[in-house]
Amino acid sequence: MNYLVTSFISILHFISEDLLQCDESTVIGELFCDEFDDLDFELALSCFEATHKVAFFERLWECDPEEYEDLSIEQFIETFLDPTEQRDPLFVTKRFLMFQESLTKALTEEAEGQYGEDFN
């Protein structure tokens, strides 16, 4: 198995506190459950990019998750990962700012759902 695939699986296990039991053949859509959601997956992607100084192609961030949920973890990495080393000194910062934006959006939506539209 590819080192990058193994690394991504290790990150998934760590973020889920070992609740996810997966391997290279696990389908992406099978990862999601009450204990692991799309925000956890995005965190795993950001951590992976920061760890290896590689980026996922921009098309990943632009497509709907339904477009890759039937891919195995190995296929997902092969399809969406640009193995070119990122040399931009702000690369990691930019990725985590993207994650912060997603987290803020998710928390706002959750609060609005809990407290209604009067939350703002």
Residue-wise pLDDT tens digits, 67-96 = 999 999 999 999 999 999 999 999 999 988
The percent of residues above 70 in pLDDT, for the chain, comes to: 95
pLDDT-based confidence at 110, cuts 50/70/90?
Answer: confident
| DSSP H/E element including 81 | strand 81-82
Domain coordinates in residue numbering, the chain:
3-119
pTM: 0.83
Is residue 79 classed as helix, strand or coil in its secondary structure?
helix
Is 95 exposed, middle or buried (CB count within 10 Å of its CB: 0-12, 13-18, 19+)? buried
Which carries the bigger pLDDT value, residue 17 or residue 110?
17
